[in-house]
Structure 1
Amino acid sequence: MSALITLDHNEPSAAPAEPAYTLGDVDALGRYPVHLNGELLGYVSRWHGTWSAVTRTGLTLPERHPDRDAAARSLAQLTDPHTPAPAAPSTPQRLTAHAHLLDPALSATTRNIVSAAVALARLDELAWLPLAGYPGADNRWLLRCLACNEFRALNDLSPWDGARFWSHLRGRNGDNIPRPLIRHEGCLPVSEHADALKVFARAPKPVCPCPESHPTSPQAARALLTTTGAAWRQRDPDALTALLTRLLGPCPASRARATALLTATGKPPALTAN
């Protein structure tokens, strides 16, 4: 019995090569630029353990990625004409009027507001000026160093702006020691930090002197948190911005305000935040 064997001389088709992208250095906003053949495609950035990608035109891809390379590949694959354009996210448009107080990606929940107030009070003591809204403990926060501001001005240097993690600035395991010890390149020597910080930590006020009337008692803080929650749920951007300004705006009594918020929510009155 004979059998006819037919040989298939066609080699299996190779999978198309993925676009060769390059990742640049992280910028002041915590973003990594993604380039393809020298052309900027967009940026990838980390948010609470996952990575997102944004095109150079500002379109945020809806998928979340486990690492920055996966996010960068999603940008690079958009150059393939056979790759469909990403669909617009189905989530409601975020409120952005309060972006200078609370990051637009954070909901105006009591937990986030209290954590932000605690962080802002501590930044006042550590001579950091926030240039963006509180983003949470594990995301980069754009800050300006005030400790060396006078020194840099005398030497015709611009203020130092850069991204820092609040989880590093608040210390670890309760030791309350900000990290890194060297605040940034070009700052004052570590041995001069203590004297520089005394200027900013001098006698915080126990009561708010501002026209916005920031709450410094648990009763006032509790009432304001309740009203703020209602404004957030109703998606009222004007009311929410005004309320968050009272809860998170600059104030000489920021420590007293943070303590009042912690007490109002039943937390120990210590300036620690998640």
Structure 2
Amino acid sequence: MTDGHLSQYLHDLPPSTRNVTSAAMALARLDELDWTPRGGYPGSDVLWPVKCLLCGWEGLRFYSHLRRARPKGRHAGCAPAAEIANRLDQLGRAATGTCTCAQPHAVSAEAFHETALLLASAHADGDSKQSLFLAERLMGPCTATARRGRAAQRAFPRS
């Protein structure tokens, strides 16, 4: 996902606060379940290309199916159901909750809110370079992805 376009974060979706918030929450959930996206967030009920970090399988999944409790099985040919929870826990140890990236990500509700509004403005102004920079701060890979997802929920709560 390094094509240098906003679509690497939001597939065919405008960078509205709702879409950016949903994408950040979806990326946090994928991270928690040890999936990695192979394309931008397409929306919750659209097939999303993903890669299983347990075995390397690549295919399509609905995010709406992944946001539920940990599934008993992941896909055909993956780890046995009895081993999945333990493997997820082992892989999840890389998540620190602290962003140590060279370009800090928005991991507080205030920072997420401000950055999302700046992204919407940059996109409306046609500033693709600034839009991509801000999208990276909201949705780029980071060891604090789960924290950023929680910040997104607090910044733009659903009513």
Give the structure-1-normalised TM-score: 0.54
Q: Which has the higher helix share?
A: 2
- Equivalences for 1:188-203 in 2 at 5 Å? 188-202=79-93
Do the aligned residues in 2 keep the contact of 1:216 with 1:260 (CA within 8 Å)? yes
* Partner-residue secondary structure (3-state), 2:129: helix
1:205 matched residue in structure 2: 96
- Equivalences for 1:102-181 in 2 at 5 Å? 102-103=10-11, 105-148=12-55, 159-171=56-68, 176-178=69-71, 181=72
2:9 matched residue in structure 1: 101
Q: CA RMSD for the aligned pairs? A: 1.7
Give the structure-2-normalised TM-score: 0.90
TM-aligned CA deviation for residue 202 of structure 1: 2.5
Unaligned runs of 5+ in 1: 1-95, 149-158, 269-274
User: Structure 2: how far apart are the matches of 1:200 and 1:121?
Assistant: 14
Q: Which amino acid aligns with 1:99?
A: S
Q: Which protein has greater RCO, CA pairs closer than 8 Å, 6+ apart?
A: 2
TM-aligned CA deviation for residue 170 of structure 1: 1.0
* Partner-residue secondary structure (3-state), 1:202: helix
Indicate the structure (1 or 2) with the bigger Cα radius of gyration. 1
TM-aligned CA deviation for residue 203 of structure 1: 6.9
Do the aligned residues in 2 keep the contact of 1:224 with 1:243 (CA within 8 Å)? yes
1:250 aligns with 2:141: yes
1:187 aligns with 2:63: no
Listed one character per residue, the Cα deviations across residues 210-267 of structure 1 (whole Å, up to 9, x for unaligned) are 1120011122112111110101111221111111011000111011111112212245
Q: Which amino acid aligns with 1:102?
A: L
Q: Which has the higher strand share?
A: 1
Following TM superposition, the consecutive aligned residue runs of length 4 or more in structure 1 with deviations greater than 3 angstroms are: none
Alignment coverage as a number of residue pairs: 156
Unaligned runs of 5+ in 2: none
